[in-house]
Structure 1
Amino acid sequence: MDSTDAPTSSPASPQTGRPGEAHSTELPFELRRPLGPRDPGDAWVEGDRGRFWGRFGSAGLLVHDPAKGVLLQHRALWSDNGGTWGLPGGALHQGEEAVDGALREAKEEAAVPPEKVRVLFTSVFDVGYWSYTTVAVEVVDAFEPEISDPESLELQWVPVELVGGKDLHPGFGAAWPGLRSRLLNAGTPG
C-alpha cells in the first residue's frame, strides 16, 4: 500500500550483488524495503492536511467474499503504519484510473485475479492535493490470495463483523464503519 524511499546508496552484498544486502547485517524479509526501479507516482506529497503516499493519489481494493469475509493485508513493518492491517493497494501511476490502480496493486501484492471480482462501488477520501480511493469488489469466482511482494507480512480473510477488532491502519480504521455499511448494503435491492 504505502512505501518509503529505499536507501539511495549502500554497499552491495558480496553474496548477492544487490545494494543494501550486506551478508553480516541482512534484515529479515518483513523488514526489507523493495529495491529497484520505481514509478514516478511512488512519492510522498505534503500539504496543510498532512503527508500522504502517492504523487498521483492512491487506491486500495476492498475484496469481499460473502463466504470468507474481507481480505486484509498485514502491512510490512517498514511501510507507513507498518504492522497494522489494511487493504492491498498503493500509489497510482500517472493518468491511471483508481479502479485500474487498485486492481493492479492488489494483483501485485496479494495475487488477486481481476477477472474473479466485480466492482461494487468506490469511496473517495480527498484532501484537495491528494486522494485515496477505496474500490470495493465482490468475489465472483473463489480464489486464495498469495503474498506476491514484500509489502505484506500476511494476508487473511476476516469475517466482516471481526474486521474492526484488528489493529487497523488509521486511515482504513476511520473509513471502515462507512465502508462496512455500504458493503453490507451493496447486495440489497433498491
Structure 2
Amino acid sequence: MRGDGDGWVFASDGSRRWGRHGAAGLLLRAPGPSGHATVLLQHRAGWSHHGGTWALPGGAIDSHESPAGAAVREAGEEAGIAGESLTVRGERVTWTEDSGWSYTTVVADAAAQLDTVPNGESTELRWVAEDDVESLPLHPSFAESWPALRSVPVRAVLGPDVDEVPPRTVDLGERGFGWIVAVVTTDRVEETVDASRAAESAVGTTVVITADESVRRAVSPALAAEL
C-alpha cells in the first residue's frame, strides 16, 4: 500500500530525493558471535536508486509518522524485522537539502542478530561487523554519514539504581554512539563517583548509566548517560 509520503522532492540543482515528507532509515545493531557490534545492511536491488550499493533499510516518511515510526515500519517491510524485537536508542538527521527534504537515521539495537526476510528492494540482507562496513561499496549518502554513526567501545559504570545489564547501544549525544564492552556495577553513590573519576583518566570512553538525578549531579556531566 502506498503512503502519502511516496513521491520525489526536487532540489534547486535538479537532483531528486525520495519522500515528500523526508525519509528515514534504521541502523540496527546486535552483538556478533564474539559480542562485537554488528549492523544490519541492505544490498540494494539493481533497479533502485544507487542500486548495487549497501545501505540501511528505509524509505519515505508518511505525514502521520515520526522518523522512528517510519524507519521501524520500513525495516518490517524490507527486512521482515518485527518492531517489538528491537528498541530505538536515538536518531540523527544525517542529510538535508535546500528543498527542505531531510533524511533521519534511527539507531536501534536488538538482543541478538535477527532473522531477516528481504523483499524486492533488496538482493541481500546481511549482518556486518562494524569494522567491515567500509569495505563494502556503500550508498554515497550512507558512506558520508557512517563515520558519525558507527559506535565506539564503551565501559559502563552502573549506578546503584540500575540492577541489570543495560542496552548495548548508548546514545552519547554529540559524541555519537557507544557499544558497551565492559560493565562495572556499584552499590552506593560514592562507589559510582569513585569509579567514574577513575575512568576519566583511563583509555577509552566510559559512561555512568543511571536515572538517579543525585548520581548524575555527582559525576562528570560528560560521563552521565540516562538508562
Structure-1-length-normalised TM-score: 0.75
Query: Is it true that 1:156 corresponds to 2:139 in the alignment?
Result: no
**Correspondence 1:73-152 to 2 at 5 A:** 73-124=42-93, 125-128=95-98, 129-140=100-111, 142-147=113-118, 149-152=119-122
Q: Distance in 2 between matches of 1:121 and 1:87?
A: 15
Structure-1 residue corresponding to 2:19:
54
Larger radius of gyration: 2
Match of 2:26, SS state, is strand
List, as ranges, runs of 4+ consecutive aligned residues in structure 1 with deviation greater than 4 Å. Answer: none
Once superposed, what is the RMSD of the aligned Cα atoms? 1.7
1:113 counterpart letter in structure 2: A
Identical positions, percent: 44
Greater share of residues in strand: 2
2:87 counterpart letter in structure 1: R
Match of 1:104, SS state, is helix
2:30–2:112 contact (8 Å) kept in structure 1: no
Q: Distance in 1 between matches of 2:146 and 2:140?
A: 10
Q: Distance in 2 between matches of 1:97 and 1:47?
A: 23
Structure-2-length-normalised TM-score: 0.63
Structure-1 residue corresponding to 2:162:
none
Query: Is it true that 1:172 corresponds to 2:137 in the alignment?
Result: no
- Name stretches of at least 5 consecutive residues in structure 2 with no aligned partner: 152-175, 181-205, 208-222
Q: Aligned residues, how many?
A: 152
Q: Distance in 1 between matches of 2:60 and 2:71?
A: 9
- Pick closer, same or farther for the CA change 1:131–1:76 going to 2, 3 Å: same
Structure with the larger RCO, 1 or 2 (CA within 8 Å, 6+ apart): 1
- Name stretches of at least 5 consecutive residues in structure 1 with no aligned partner: 1-36
